């Protein structure tokens, strides 16, 4: 019986701890790294020659929009070609669930406008064999992938689902019943694996607009709805908030902008992820 299942031999090991790189072998047993050092090839069932290559942990890309592409490109290129082994989708409040059949075209047009993903590629490459968020994750699970995937629950389609497109785009305040529906959708999403929720809040003066040239529904949604959904994370004591925010131009000191972030963190008790730089916002 061999000591290792696999040895990755002779590569330049860069382990991500800021330690000095070194040429070494990596022994793997039962799917885990068992030893790094000089190892005998006879101690493994399989030896992979890594001479001339860098051996490093896989990179995690926390902000991607591979929501559609992963259905026809299992490596999520170019990311998968450059050491990314785990991706997070559903960022900025954009996504494809929950989406009713009549809203599918509009959802793809939104992704085309904001992320320059060709409509024809999505139309041909996405199976659209889901409606709800749990069904979407089931579809992703069925799809062969060369990367690991985690998804946020995107608020853009959720608002359209509960309020309807016109009311959501007008930034109407949800009723108590509609807030309850949004909370229930988020609970359902996190029950099946969502890592939290995401939103774009770039106000009505930004350049990252919806397919019709107007702001996203999340750009004009009430803060009260954000706080309602932050409470869900507090109840569960899990999940993250991913927010693409920009301050109101009238808020010259960005005080209210900062307070919104702080209140989301205070209410949820969870991390709030945001872009340090938002160009042309």
Instruction: Please write the tens of the pLDDT for every residue from 148-173.
Output: 999 999 999 999 999 999 999 999 99
Q: Which helix (DSSP H) or strand (DSSP E) does residue 14 occupy?
A: none
| pLDDT tops 80 at residue 23 | yes
Distance CA 210, CA 207 (A): 9
Q: What is the mean pLDDT of residues 96-101?
A: 98
Please give the order of strands across the beta sheet that includes 59-61: 59-61, 84-89, 148-151
Question: How much of the chain, in percent, has pLDDT values that exceed 70?
Answer: 95
Neighbouring-strand partners of residue 201: 245
For the chain, residues classed under CATH 3.20.20.140 are 59-274
4-13 and 22-29: which strand pairing? antiparallel
List Cβ<8 Å contacts ≥24 apart for 36-41. 39/4, 39/7, 39/9, 41/7, 41/9
Distance CA 95, CA 154 (A): 6
In this prediction, residue 281 has a pLDDT band, given cuts at 50, 70 and 90, of low
Distance CA 113, CA 213 (A): 9
Q: Which two tokens stand for residue 82?
A: 């450059």
According to CATH, the topology of domain 59-274 is TIM Barrel (3.20.20)
Class of domain 4-55: mainly beta
- The SS3 assignment for 58 reads coil
The pLDDT of residue 203: 75
Please give the order of strands across the beta sheet that includes 153-154: 153-154, 196-201, 240-245, 272-274
**Residues constituting the chain:** 281
Question: Which residue's structure tokens are 């009723």?
Answer: 175
């Amino acid at each position: 019986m061999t000591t290792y299942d696999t040895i990755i031999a002779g590569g330049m090991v860069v382990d991500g701890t800021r330690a000095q790189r070194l040429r070494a072998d990596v022994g793997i047993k039962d799917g885990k790294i068992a030893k790094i050092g000089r190892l005998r090839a006879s101690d493994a069932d399989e030896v992979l020659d890594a001479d001339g290559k860098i051996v490093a942990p896989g990179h995690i890309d926390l902000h991607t929009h591979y929501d559609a592409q992963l259905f026809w490109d299992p490596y999520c290129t170019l990311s998968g070609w450059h050491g990314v082994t785990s991706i997070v989708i559903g960022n900025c409040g954009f996504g494809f669930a929950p989406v009713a059949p009549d809203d599918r075209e509009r959802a793809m047009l939104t992704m085309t406008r904001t992320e320059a993903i060709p409509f024809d590629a999505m139309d041909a490459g996405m199976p659209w064999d889901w409606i709800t968020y749990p069904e979407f994750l089931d579809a992703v699970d069925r799809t062969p992938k060369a990367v690991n995937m985690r998804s946020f629950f995107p608020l853009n389609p959720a608002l359209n689902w509960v309020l309807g497109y016109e009311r959501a785009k007008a930034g109407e305040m949800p009723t108590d019943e509609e807030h309850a529906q949004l909370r229930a959708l988020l609970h359902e999403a996190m029950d099946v694996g969502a890592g939290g929720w995401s939103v774009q809040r770039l106000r009505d003066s930004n350049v990252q607009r919806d397919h019709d040239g107007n702001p996203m529904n999340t750009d004009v949604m009430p803060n009260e709805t954000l706080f309602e959904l932050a409470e869900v994370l507090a109840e569960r004591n899990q999940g993250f908030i991913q927010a693409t925010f920009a301050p109101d131009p009238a808020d010259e000191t960005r005080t209210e902008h900062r307070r919104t972030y702080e209140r989301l963190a205070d209410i949820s008790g969870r991390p709030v992820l945001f872009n340090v730089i938002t160009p042309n916002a």
